[in-house]
Amino acid sequence: PTTMPGLPAGMPSPPDAAPTPDMGMPSDAGDNMQPNGTQPNNMQPPPAPEPSPTTTPSPAARPEATGENIAAGDTAIAAAEASIRQRDWSKMKSLAETAEKAAATDEQVARAETLYQIADLGTYYRGGVSRAMADLTAGNEFNVTDAISLLVVEASAEQLIARRGARNYTYTLDDLPFVVSKALAKFQLPMESETGQAAQAVYESIATKSTPEIRADSAGILRSLQNVEGADPQRIADWIETRYTPSTTQ
């Protein structure tokens, strides 16, 4: 079968592991050191510059929390969590950023950071799948599994129409079976890396087609990872297991 050119980024590579959910097909379809001039021997080095007043304070310098800003932090965190539960892909990352800025206590900071990591990894994976769909052209054929391939009839960043045998299958981006989205993600993302594995696990935990069984499997995958760039997979797994309940509204 013809394969598409991919744009993988170089990242470390653990073994690929992911469940193969049903494709919705008939039963036979088996994200300082600067140069200095030499000082003359009779001169002392200049004193170190004063810290800039615009330097971002470290977490340790965070002002003491008040009831008002703690309440504001809780509100921002709740909004970010709601956007993830509602699978609001266009807003979840910005709302998580807002929650990070509004966090007033150490506990709120940790919660907001976890939400941002979830939104970041999930949108990273979904964006890779969308770009792969947009790169497809009519007549491309790609492998979904060793036994299944799909022939592209029509494709865009939001929809894929593909043929297998005598039947066409039409999927929106959010309706793609996970086995198809994984095959497409490989054309754009480093799916052999732990970051790619974590992104897939997060996406499959919160996407429309997720199930409690898939979320449990994804949490297990996250707990097995040690080297996820910019994220703590253990905290993400905790959130999926203890705090995530998908919303029925979109």
Q: What is the mean pLDDT of residues 182-194?
A: 96
Output the pLDDT for position 71.
96
Q: What is the pTM of this model?
A: 0.74
- Residues 6 or more apart whose CB falls under 8 angstroms from that of 194 comprise 11, 12, 14, 225, 226, 227, 228, 229
Quick one: tokens of 140? 């491309």
pLDDT tens-digit profile of 134-153? 999 999 999 999 999 999 99
pLDDT of residue 248: 54
Among the residue ranges 28-37, 62-71, 210-219, the one predicted with the least confidence is 28-37
* Residue 247 or residue 56, greater confidence: 247
Half-sphere exposure of 217 (CA within 13 A, CB side): 15
Report DSSP state, residue 87. T
User: Lowest mean pLDDT: which of 33-37, 78-82, 85-89?
Assistant: 33-37
Tens of pLDDT along 161-173?
999 999 999 999 9
Model confidence at 110, pLDDT cuts 50, 70, 90, reads very high
Positive or negative torsion for Cα 205, 209, 211, 217: negative
Q: In what order do the strands lie in the sheet with 141-143?
A: 141-143, 149-155, 159-164, 167-172
